Structure 1
Amino acid sequence: MTHKSTTLCVLALLSCILRAGVAHGSRPAGVPPPAHLDRADLRFAFGSCSRHDKPQSVWGAVRAIAPDAFVWLGDVIYADGKVNGTRAYVGNERHRAAFETQLEHPEYAALARETKIVGTWDDHDFGFNNAGAEWEEKPFAKQVFLDFLGVPADSPRRERAGVYAHHTFRNLGRDKNRSARLILLDTRFHQRAERGELLGEDQWRWLERALGVPGSRRVGVTSADDARSATPSSSDEHSREYREPFIEAEEDDDDPVDVVIIGSSIQVHAETQKLVDGLFEGVESWNEFPNEKKRLMDLVERSRARVVFLSGDVHHAEIITSPPRCVLPYELVEITSSGMTHGILDEVPKKHGLRAFVRLLIPAFLPRWLWPDVGGLQRARFIHRNWGEVAIDFGDDDAAETDAADDDARASPSPAAKSETKASVAGSIALNIRGDDGVVKISKRVPLSALEGTWAEVDAAAARGEIEHGAAEGRLRDACRTEKDLTRVELLRLPVLAAACLVGQPVIFAFCVWQLVKGTSRAVRKPGKASKRKEA
């Protein structure tokens, strides 16, 4: 083998080794530098899937951005685990103790002293993997979860069938007349997969009011004035369990706001349910509940609210979008952060060093070409430890450049007095996925003006000739294709390519090593033969 071929072989070997760590693990183009911090009138940090019994490396980075609130999106702790290979509930005492362990974590405790902690749950802090309305321990689970969040014992939220809640923030922006609402859904307490039910009727009615859907009223209340003074009947136990009680003071504000953030523990618009079937067990999303998903999108459209979705659960991070006039009249935007202490690679068994070997093969960002080029499926997915950030800025784009020096002075206030009117649409929402090192991995900025519109306005624009298709026809465009439109070949793309990569990389690696060893041994033998010839 010549020196040239040996050099090429070494380079090929290095490319195999660096494939995961450098080529695919680098930050995608367009992502802000590590020191980047978006200007914000209101800043949330959020995350999900954090084992209380594992090292927690994200809290320092979360504290560094000084969020106005930290939002749990489920799996705060894990109250179930495998015993002799069988998943089992750990019991009430260990369930409670797991929350206490989380509260005692020094960095988390420091964050809780510095900012507001809010959240909803998912299956593992609810008590059992993929559990729903049938879970017999849900009354206890609700009690200890609300204890963990510090919800007062006499709060009406304690009476609710579920842990859903909303938090309204007002007096935002330069003129203190802007507002935002964080809505946290409960996808466990009422979930009945066999019936296709996810939220339950009481939660749906509550959500209508939180979104400001025209005509929405409290359960059993006939006017807005009566709604303010309504309280549940103490003598009606059935009503106390299944009806919406008078909401706590913080939630008493359901007047219109400028922007709404809806948090769901499971993904809303993943559109990967069919693709991952057979590859991963127990993956849930709103796609499994098509009627509920349609109802949610209809409510959002009817409310005329500017909405962005948050989600967790899937042990990786991504920003999901759907073009305008597909699912909503405007662009659907969802940011998923999951895996604060563990990711999808931690599901690989450690036996025989398999997990360490797989980590060498699989990059931090999954290659987009693994997924079919349908809709938004070819998006960035970050699979290492992560958390999310939402930065709402009510300044206009020009002011963002000229007034950057005023960032520190514009601190985010706590929820306060209400504003009576909806201000202009100037401003934007910055969505960031950050690693446990605080570096931004995936980002997207959404102008508030891009989160507006109704289907009636779409049809009117089509009638005027401003756009090519109306609401019904527009949703049939190629850009609106989803997993239900995938062909059999497209459905097989992910598993086939994933298998080819996992098998092919080790084969290439072994071939490179073999070529390198062979070339080196030849180079060693050649000087020996030359010396023998000289002696002869």
Structure 2
Amino acid sequence: MKKTLSYLIAVLILSCSAPKHGVVDSAHEVDFTLAFGSCNKTELPNLLWDDIVDSKPNVWIWGGDNIYADTDDMSLLRAMYDAQQAVPGYSKLVNVTEVLGTWDDHDYGLNDGGLEYTSKDKSQQEFWNFMRVPMQSPLRTQKGVFRTKDFNMDQGSIKIIILDTRYFRTPLTPDHETKKRIKPNEYGIGTILGEGQWVWLENELLHSKADFNIIVSSIQFLSREHGFETWGNFPHEVDRLEQTIVKSKAKGVVLLSGDRHISEFSRKSLDGMEYPLIDFTSSGLTHTYRGFTGEPNPYRVGKVIFTESFGLLNFNFKAKKIDFQIVGDGGVVLEKMEQVF
């Protein structure tokens, strides 16, 4: 019965009438709030920052494509980051909330780029500048933007594990046989994280004592059939991460992803885990795939949202529960899901 209860997922509710300040359900105790999003262009209206501020997050997490630079010109990259810092709503957020995050291809500097991008070390320094990482931080000399951050409170603890799916990623395999852009590599060929980052990730999960472990990946993990960038293009890496999560016995592991210009919940049961693995995709902040007509995802829960939105996670330590919300302009909760761990 205990295992059955841990799998209970509340019915997804589509709510287009939530009040602007209604992103947090006052009827339920919230101990910690995490907001995140991806795919943000400075030249488009940045409509959501007031709603993100209103949600009063303890942390904001960038999920990648935080700007759209696609360049090896660091002065241009820097100017775009500066433009984002100057957006009034975002400027207010960074002054009241801790900001973490990763990059994806467009802020990395090369569309669909990986380890072959020759300006990645310079780009990494500009990324750390945007994230306001001190010059003396060890992150400044590290290869790749992966990192962890622990939030310890009286009620419980949360570990944020941020991955870099760009710096070490080996080439993709173009699909010349179908209308899809990319097809999976042969099993065992290539890597997303690189061995050093893999060892680091395995160690972080194995030794985590946190009540919840949130893994941030710029690309989707569970949705794998759409033909764009996804962990599924490296099937052996998918297996390794699932096995790592199960073997670690880490509590409350959740994946956050971006990249796709759509938002959705995906969920998969893994042998050896008492709760399902959830991949919450939130994309995009300023532009979306408004022509979306459907794509396969056997792990999808509920509907795909293809209007501008951000993701919100409200944690309750006593109930071992997370309320997941996809939130649109005006604080409208477009879709939500509850999971007990």
Shorter-chain TM range is 0.7 to 0.9
Distance 1:375 1:383 in 2: 18
Total equivalences in the alignment:
307
Cα–Cα, structure 1 residues 159 and 54, in superposed 2: closer, same or farther, change >3 Å?
A: same
SS at match of 1:193: coil
Identify the match of residue 24 of structure 2 among 37, 42, 45. Answer: 37
Offset, 1:316: 0.7
Query: Could you list the per-position Cα deviations for residues 32-60 of structure 1 after superposition, in whole angstroms to 9, with x for gaps in the alignment?
Result: 66125143211111000001221100001
Identify the match of residue 36 of structure 2 among 39, 46, 51. Answer: 46
Q: Identity over aligned residues, as a percent?
A: 34
Distance 1:99 1:36 in 2: 28
1:319 aligns with 2:246: no
2:12–2:335 Cα contact (<8 Å) kept: no
1:193 aligns with 2:171: yes
Identify the match of residue 108 of structure 1 among 90, 101, 110. Answer: 90
1:180 aligns with 2:158: yes
1:324–1:332 Cα contact (<8 Å) kept: yes
1:269–1:320 Cα contact (<8 Å) kept: yes
Offset, 1:166: 0.8
Cα–Cα, structure 1 residues 436 and 172, in superposed 2: closer, same or farther, change >3 Å?
A: farther
Q: Tell me the TM-score normalized by structure 1.
A: 0.55
Cα–Cα, structure 1 residues 300 and 49, in superposed 2: closer, same or farther, change >3 Å?
A: same
Q: Which one-letter code corresponds to 1:313 in the other structure?
A: D
Distance 1:389 1:336 in 2: 11
1:66 aligns to what?
56
Distance 1:172 1:318 in 2: 32
Query: Could you list the per-position Cα deviations for residues 300-342 of structure 1 after superposition, in whole angstroms to 9, with x for gaps in the alignment?
Result: 11110120110000001001112353x9563121110011000
1:256 aligns with 2:200: no
Distance 2:12 2:302 in 1: 13
Distance 2:298 2:201 in 1: 28
1:225 aligns to what?
none
1:433 aligns to what?
326
SS at match of 2:126: helix
Offset, 1:29: 6.2
SS at match of 2:148: strand
2:304 aligns to what?
381
Identify the match of residue 205 of structure 1 among 199, 203, 220. Answer: 199
SS at match of 1:446: strand
2:285 aligns to what?
340
1:52–1:102 Cα contact (<8 Å) kept: yes
Offset, 1:376: 2.8
Offset, 1:172: 3.7
Distance 1:263 1:36 in 2: 22
Distance 1:377 1:118 in 2: 27
SS at match of 2:330: coil
1:322–1:375 Cα contact (<8 Å) kept: no
Cα–Cα, structure 1 residues 29 and 127, in superposed 2: closer, same or farther, change >3 Å?
A: closer
Cα–Cα, structure 1 residues 371 and 152, in superposed 2: closer, same or farther, change >3 Å?
A: closer
Offset, 1:395: 2.5
Cα–Cα, structure 1 residues 185 and 286, in superposed 2: closer, same or farther, change >3 Å?
A: same
1:193–1:289 Cα contact (<8 Å) kept: no
Q: Which has the higher contact order (CA 8 A, sep 6+)?
A: 2
More moved, 295-304 vs 315-324: 315-324
Offset, 1:212: 2.2
Gaps of 5+ in 2: 1-10, 173-188
Distance 1:266 1:329 in 2: 25
Distance 2:270 2:119 in 1: 42
Distance 1:168 1:157 in 2: 16
SS at match of 2:331: coil
Q: Which one-letter code corresponds to 1:30 in the other structure?
A: I
2:264–2:301 Cα contact (<8 Å) kept: no
1:162 aligns with 2:144: yes
2:237 aligns to what?
292
Identify the match of residue 271 of structure 1 among 224, 227, 244. Answer: 224
Offset, 1:377: 4.5
2:66–2:107 Cα contact (<8 Å) kept: yes
1:301 aligns to what?
246
Distance 1:98 1:40 in 2: 35
Cα–Cα, structure 1 residues 314 and 446, in superposed 2: closer, same or farther, change >3 Å?
A: same
1:460 aligns to what?
none
1:219 aligns to what?
none
SS at match of 2:60: strand
Gaps of 5+ in 1: 1-27, 81-88, 214-254, 278-282, 346-357, 397-426, 449-536
1:79 aligns with 2:69: yes
Distance 2:49 2:158 in 1: 25
1:319–1:442 Cα contact (<8 Å) kept: no
Structure number with bigger Rg? 1
Matches within 5 A, 1:481-496: none
1:122 aligns to what?
104
1:271–1:377 Cα contact (<8 Å) kept: no
Identify, as 1 or 2, the structure richer in helix. Answer: 1
Identify, as 1 or 2, the structure richer in strand. Answer: 2
1:42–1:172 Cα contact (<8 Å) kept: no
Distance 2:295 2:118 in 1: 39
CA RMSD across the alignment:
2.0
Offset, 1:30: 2.4
Distance 2:197 2:33 in 1: 26
Distance 2:249 2:274 in 1: 10
SS at match of 1:52: coil
Distance 1:377 1:113 in 2: 36
Query: Could you list the per-position Cα deviations for residues 235-280 of structure 1 after superposition, in whole angstroms to 9, with x for gaps in the alignment?
Result: xxxxxxxxxxxxxxxxxxxx5111101110000101323xxx4xxx
SS at match of 2:326: strand
Distance 2:299 2:114 in 1: 30
